[in-house]
Each structure stands twice: as structure tokens, then as C-alpha cells.
Structure 1
Amino acid sequence: MPLGFLLVTAEPGAQVTVDEFQDWYNNEHVPLRLNHLPSFLTGARFTAVDSLTPSWLAVYDIDDTATFQHESYTRLRANRSPRETNLVQRLEVLDRRTYEFVADSGESALTSSYKPTNPTTFLITHWVNFPEGDTAFQAWSDEVFRALKGVEGWVRTRTYKCIDNLKTGLGVPKGPEAQVVPKYLAVHEVLSLPIAASSTFTAAVNPGSKAQIEEVRIWALYRAYPSVSQGNVQPPSST
């Protein structure tokens, strides 16, 4: 099975304070995954710097898309704590999307991406659709990788295909239309905010192809987390 990627955007809204939201994420939600599941290779959270909502982003590298159906993971949502159940019901938006890995420009010596030692500072999430399907998206990925190699301050780009999604929250409209999301995603790692607005970066990620650009968001690092898989978290005791 291919590598997986989990992306979650969230907006606390009027019913959840930012302090409550952060405490839940940092001390319950993330540890239940990264401190216990070796399948979660990395995890990091970012905050929006583009004045758009949702204003929070969490990303996780997953060892295998089969993890998304494995009991060790599915039980975390099926058996939420009373605290988490209550908080999730009060969120304005919780938008969870799971992805299958497509392509990677390659690791960089500039950062460790989502690991807590020297993590990437800024992300640009770039959602696109391709009427021509997966083959066209793969070709677009290769084209973008080549173009970005000449952009100073660019770190790494990975591309993905959405395999499942669910959007919930007090601010999410009822009906199937609210659940429609772009099929493809590119995640660009960069060293500074001006890069996102530079003409060289814009030209590189919008080559002359048939891509339908759906949404572009810009995020700044909040925290990159240790994990059992990285060996920088003590695994839970079996006794």
C-alpha cells in the first residue's frame, strides 16, 4: 500500500476558546496518535497567516494508507473521551481529509519537514482538480518539481490524491455539497512568507497545464511533535 497523509483543518468558533482548543490538541488528541501509534511517522500543526478560515492546520505523515482502516487508529474516533466528544460537537469546523501519496520532490537538507528538530517554518497548501485524472496530475507534479528547483527558499513539495474526507461542525452546511473537496493536493514547504507571493514561485506552481486551481492557503508553524516512530517519545508501558 502507498504512503498516507492526514490533513485536518479546524476552526474553534464561538463555542470553543482558543486555549481550550490548544489544550485538547496538544495534550490529548496529538499524544493519542503520535505517542502510541508507530504508523504515525510525523505530526505538526500550523496556523493560518492568510486571514482565511479554518485558521488551524494539522498534518501527519502515515506509513501506509491501510492505517486509516486499522483498528488501532479507527478506535480513537469510535471511542472518544467525553471531553473530546463534547469539544468536537462545539467546533465551528473540523475538516478531515486522508490522502494517498503521489510524488515527492525529495528530502531537503534545509529542514526536517515535520520533525521537531529544524521543522519547516511555512507551508503552502495547494488544492487542484484535473478533469483528465491521475495521469495528468502526476505529469503536473513532475512539471512543478522541475520548476521549483530554481526558486530560492523553496524546501520541498509533495503531492497527494484524496481518498476520503469528512467535514463536520456548527458552521458546516447540511447536504452533500459541503462534503465535496478537490481531489488533488500539493503541499509546498518554504522558508519565508515572501516566497509565497513571489512571481517565480507563482509561475512555478502554476505551469501551463490543464490544472483547475481550487484553493491556496498559507500557514506558519505552530509546533512539530515528537513521536514513537521517531524514537523521541517514550513508548507507553505494556504493564
Structure 2
Amino acid sequence: MAQKAVPGLIMVPMSLKPELSVQECDEWYNNEHVPIRMRLPYFERGYRYHSIENGVKGCVESGLPEWLATYDILDMWELTKEPYTRLLSPSVQSMREHQVINKVTAWRKYYDLVSTYEAPEFVSREEQLRQGDADKAYGGTLIVVGVRLRLDSPDAEAEWDRWYEEDHLPPLRKVPGWVRTRRYRTSVIEDVPPDAAEGCSTTEYLTLNEFAPGAAIGGPEHQIAIKSESRSSVVSRKWRHSYELHYLQSSASRDLAALRRDEVEEFVSPDGLTTTLSGLWPIISSYITTRDKSPIKYKLEGVTTERAPSPVIVLCTWAGLSWNHWDGFVSALQQRSTEIDCRILRLELPVRVPNVSEHALDRLEASEHTANDLEDCSKALMIGKAALLLIQGLGGQTADGSAARVTRIINTESIPGALSQFCVTGAISVSHSRRDLEQQMRSLEVLAAKCACLADMTESAISNVESL
């Protein structure tokens, strides 16, 4: 009989030693350490928080350190098996990871999910970021509460659950700005908690309370919920700590801001599949695994911040082209980065049709696979609608190399289907000769060098592709 899945949480309190800067930690944690874990199918979401206890960053009166990472897990039992257990071994760490870990103090705690409560208007932070609302995604407050119950009360857990459901939760849900509460208890996979105190149960009960920006934390409604604690007599030990979100984790390395500095330095992962290049124009090259287990290579570059993300231009190659095809166009955009503020994402889409032709192009633009690939990339990289989406492929050519190119413009009027949800505007183009392809790229490079702003460039690019 299959073991029943147990959803839960990994909580990782951590502090940085003085010799480790936040940017250095972000570069390692967001672009190397976490994506490896988030690619595992049972890692659902990940968050990294920074203390705002008493409104002062870094104040740690609860005893928790300044930083906190949490991971939503679909099945806690998977954490006892390969491949997760292998990731904990120093033998699989890169040299950089080994060096950074020695500058971090951290430990893991495992919890099983008990219950979840959401406000009717609840929208996940991931979806808010993809919708372009970074202020909401990164705003708000997380209040973490931990409780140990008395050992001398045989019905302590039942009374704790009753008090929470009947006395505490109803007024808490009335606090203006409350969006979600999740309750946990020490996991079935956890050994006896290392910090269990005499007279306390070894089980810890954890609550994560999430509030939107501007929530009435500490206001009258919140005070009613807090004062209800006096009606519970089974708590032996309790702590509380407030945090703000520092970074939304994902399965794809995407933190360009952590790489932006004067020094140019390359990092290559031990498996050779992820490369980062720091500098004033940072670059990340890695891969995304789609829902049908197909790998898609991507290259993300440009200047941005997580809380004020710059627009994205998505450049896809398909059917016989590598992303190097876009080098000249990207170089022209990079030289105009002051006027054309953007990130550039290159994708090498899998070929899912047998022959590249006009008929195949019709199938590509309507293909569920193509839409799924773009959606998977969008979710992994936490991007919403691209300012511009260009998909180019190379088809069969005639003997004299003069066959016509086939082009489709992507917008809600011409293609109201799946692809239009990923971009403001875009085009799919299959050239039947290298000569035609080179001419098209030269025209795009000229446009990038001349246009005054991103909006002007995207409009001109579509007109150019359509008219050539």
C-alpha cells in the first residue's frame, strides 16, 4: 500500500556572518542553492524573509535570526529519500557553495500542514508578481508564531485546536489586510526537536499569518485576537517574530540584481548546466524542465531589480536555430540600455512538429505544447506578459535559397488563442533561407540602434518583421 502524502513545510532560520554580504548570499542562494531544490517535483513554493521585528530590521528579540527561508512541500516523506538527501551531502556542493555555507549559520525544521485559511481576495505572491504588481508581491508582513504545549495536560492538543479554531481565528480573520493563515505541527519525519525544553511537549505548533501591505497589524481587531490567548491555559512556551519578504524563490535562476557589480566573474555549476556572469550587464544561462519533462535552455540578461522589474523581451529560436542567432540584436539593445530599459530572455523551444513549413507554422501558433512551454518558462522565471515576443525558425530552403518567409503576428485580434496571453505583441517567423534570416536580423539590429524607447522599438520590430 502506497504511503499517504503528507504536505508540509521546511523552515530554515539563518544568519549571515559579517564577512558575507547580502548580495553575495543572494547570488549563491537564489541562483544556485535554491533552484536545484525547487526543480524537485515535491518542492511547490519557496520564500526568503528578512526580519522587521518591532519595525527595526535585524532585531531578533524572539531568538530567531535575521533571515528565514520557508519551502512548501507536497509530501514530507520525499525529504527522507533520494534525490533530496543527496543534496545535503558536501560531496555534491560546488566550491562556491562550500565557501558560502561556512559563512552562514542555519538549521532546518520540518512541519506537517494542519490547516489553511485564506481570505476571499487571496492571490498568491507568485501570481501577483507575474501580474506585474511587485509592490503587492513583496509588500505585507509575515508573522510567525511557535508554541509548545504543557506536558501535564493530557488533552492539551485538543484544547489548543479548539481554542485556535473557536476563539482566536475568527477575530484574526476580521483584521483588515489579513490574507492567509497556515497551521503546522512538528513533522512525522522530524526527530525530537533539538531545542525542546523541560516541561514542554516535544511537538511544536507553528502558525504563519500573512498580511497585505497596510494591514491593521496591532489595531483593534488584531488586539481582540491577541487577547484571546488569555483563554488558553495549555501553552507552556511561545515565540513570535515578524518578517518581510526578501525574495520569491523559483526553479529557475533569475536574480540578475545579485550579479550586478563592477567585477566580471563567471560561475559554472558542477553539472555544467547553469552559468552566471556578473558585471554591469549580468547574464544567467540555465534550463527549465517543462511539464512533459522536456528541457528548455534559456539565457536571461539585462538590468533589473526584483521589486521594480524591468520589461521583458522574449526571443525564441525554433527548428534548427540556436540562441546565438540573436547576438547582434541583443548587443544593439545592450548598447541602448539607458534608453531601452529591459531584460532579454532567450529560449530554445523544442521542435514538436515533424516538418517546418507553413502548415507546421499554423500548428505552432495554435499548439498547446508551445503555449505550455511558454507558460512553464513564465512561471519558473516569475515573469508576466512580455513587452515583445519573437519566435524564429529556419525551414527547408529551395535550391536558389529564395523561398518566401512565413510570418504570423501575435496579438489578441489576429491570434486570440493561447500565445497572445504571453505578450503584448509578437511575431512567429519561419525563414526558408539563411539569406532571408540574415536580412531580417540586420533590420532588427538597425531598429534597436535607432529607436527612442522600448515602446517605439517593439512597434517598429513588429512592422519590420511583417513587411520584410
TM-score range, shorter chain: 0.7 to 0.9
CA contact (8 A) 2:122 2:180 kept: no
Pick from 51, 73, 80 the counterpart of residue 69 of structure 1. 80
Matched, 1:5 2:5: no
CA contact (8 A) 2:13 2:69 kept: yes
> Structure 2: any 5+ residue segments left out of the alignment?
54-58, 131-135, 253-286, 297-468
CA contact (8 A) 1:43 1:60 kept: yes
The residue number in structure 1 matching 2:124 is: 112
Cα distance, 1:198–1:13 mapped onto 2, change above 3 Å: farther
- Deviation, structure 1 residue 203: 3.1
CA contact (8 A) 1:6 1:61 kept: yes
CA contact (8 A) 2:13 2:67 kept: yes
The residue number in structure 2 matching 1:18 is: 22
> Structure 1: any 5+ residue segments left out of the alignment?
168-175
- Deviation, structure 1 residue 148: 1.6
Distance 1:213 1:220 in 2: 24
The residue number in structure 2 matching 1:192 is: 213
The residue number in structure 2 matching 1:121 is: 140
- Deviation, structure 1 residue 154: 0.6
Pick from 200, 214, 220 the counterpart of residue 238 of structure 2. 214
User: What SS is found at the alignment partner of 1:140?
Assistant: helix
Letter in 2 for 1:63: L
- Deviation, structure 1 residue 14: 1.7
Matched, 1:99 2:146: no
Cα distance, 1:199–1:26 mapped onto 2, change above 3 Å: same
CA contact (8 A) 1:45 1:59 kept: yes
TM-score scaled by length of structure 1: 0.80
- Deviation, structure 1 residue 40: 0.7
User: What SS is found at the alignment partner of 2:124?
Assistant: coil
Distance 1:147 1:209 in 2: 15
TM-score scaled by length of structure 2: 0.43
Distance 1:194 1:74 in 2: 39
Distance 2:17 2:227 in 1: 33
Cα distance, 1:59–1:70 mapped onto 2, change above 3 Å: same
CA contact (8 A) 1:103 1:138 kept: no
CA contact (8 A) 1:4 1:101 kept: yes
Pick from 31, 35, 45 the counterpart of residue 35 of structure 2. 31
Matched, 1:141 2:142: no
The residue number in structure 2 matching 1:45 is: 48
- Deviation, structure 1 residue 32: 0.9
Pick from 181, 204, 211 the counterpart of residue 183 of structure 1. 204
Aligned residues: 224
User: What SS is found at the alignment partner of 2:225?
Assistant: helix
- Deviation, structure 1 residue 159: 0.7
CA contact (8 A) 1:15 1:90 kept: yes
Distance 1:105 1:141 in 2: 12
- Deviation, structure 1 residue 206: 5.0
Distance 2:220 2:226 in 1: 10
Deviates more, 1:158-167 or 1:72-81: 158-167
**Deviations for 1:121-165, whole angstroms, at most 9, x for unmatched residues?**
320001111224432332233133222222111111011112337
- Deviation, structure 1 residue 214: 1.8
User: What SS is found at the alignment partner of 1:184?
Assistant: strand
- Deviation, structure 1 residue 196: 3.0
- Deviation, structure 1 residue 234: 2.4
User: What SS is found at the alignment partner of 1:234?
Assistant: strand
Distance 2:75 2:110 in 1: 11
* RMSD of aligned alpha carbons: 3.0
User: What SS is found at the alignment partner of 2:20?
Assistant: coil
The residue number in structure 2 matching 1:157 is: 181
Give the number of the structure with larger relative contact order, counting CA–CA contacts within 8 Å between residues 6 or more apart.
1
Letter in 2 for 1:237: P
Cα distance, 1:156–1:194 mapped onto 2, change above 3 Å: closer
The residue number in structure 2 matching 1:171 is: none
